[in-house]
Amino acid sequence: MAARLVSVSVPLLLLLFVVLAGSRAALASKTVEQTCAKATSGARRKEQLAPFCVSSLQAAPGSEGADARGLAAIATNLTLANYTAAVATIKALERRGGWSERSRRALATCRQRYIEALNVVHSAVHALATGKLRDYVSDMGVVRKAATDCEDAFGSAGGNGKSPLRKVNADADNLTVVAMLIVRSLQ
């Protein structure tokens, strides 16, 4: 009788575990969706930013159990990782060579702006951790400028003005804006 009880209980427990895990994931997904909807509700590019916010945060480790403040921290960490990767991409492009003088200057401007932005992201992390939300938003506004300055550097570089960093800059801008909007929604 005990063997039969165990054989019935194991599949039942496994099924219960799967159902509970699925409902927890759905609840976590709902928190991300609600936070992103609230944060982007008044944004100019809401149609673009809301799905970007959801997909970025849902893919991030730790988001499944995070509240809005935790999601703000995760968005900030994603920004930090993105800007670090941008610097590595720029350095790789510079090493590859074959750029015109104007493009080399634009890449140098991009590298400099992204490195400066990384320093400010650290300040923003501290502001968020200490509850200085206005300082955070101000810092992240400075951080965001790196992506636009980089894109502008290629626009003013002459020629066709096509930046090899267009996607990098767009993702950097979107992540920074999402992080700022989430923090603004906490105020």
Q: Are 146 and 114 in contact (CB under 8 A)?
A: yes
Distance of alpha carbon 138 from alpha carbon 129, whole angstroms: 15
Q: Are 50 and 40 in contact (CB under 8 A)?
A: yes
Q: Are 140 and 40 in contact (CB under 8 A)?
A: no
Query: pLDDT truncated to tens, each residue of the chain (187 aa)?
Result: 544 444 444 333 333 333 333 333 444 478 899 999 999 998 888 889 999 999 999 999 999 889 999 999 999 999 999 999 999 999 999 999 999 999 999 999 999 999 999 999 999 999 999 999 999 999 999 999 999 999 999 986 554 568 999 999 999 999 999 999 999 999 8
3-state secondary structure of 159: coil
pLDDT of the residue at 27 = 41
Distance of alpha carbon 94 from alpha carbon 179, whole angstroms: 29
pLDDT of the residue at 10 = 39
CATH no., domain 29-185: 1.20.140.40
Q: How far is CA 175 from CA 179, 185, 187, in A?
A: 6, 15, 19
Residue type, 68: A
Q: Single out the residue of 23, 82, 90 nearest to residue 52, CA to CA.
A: 82
DSSP letter for each residue of 130-168: TT-HHHHHHHHHHHHHHHHHHHHHHHTSSTT---TTHHH
Q: Are 52 and 174 in contact (CB under 8 A)?
A: yes
Query: pTM (2 decimals)?
Result: 0.80
pLDDT of the residue at 43 = 84
Return the domain boundaries, the chain: 29-185
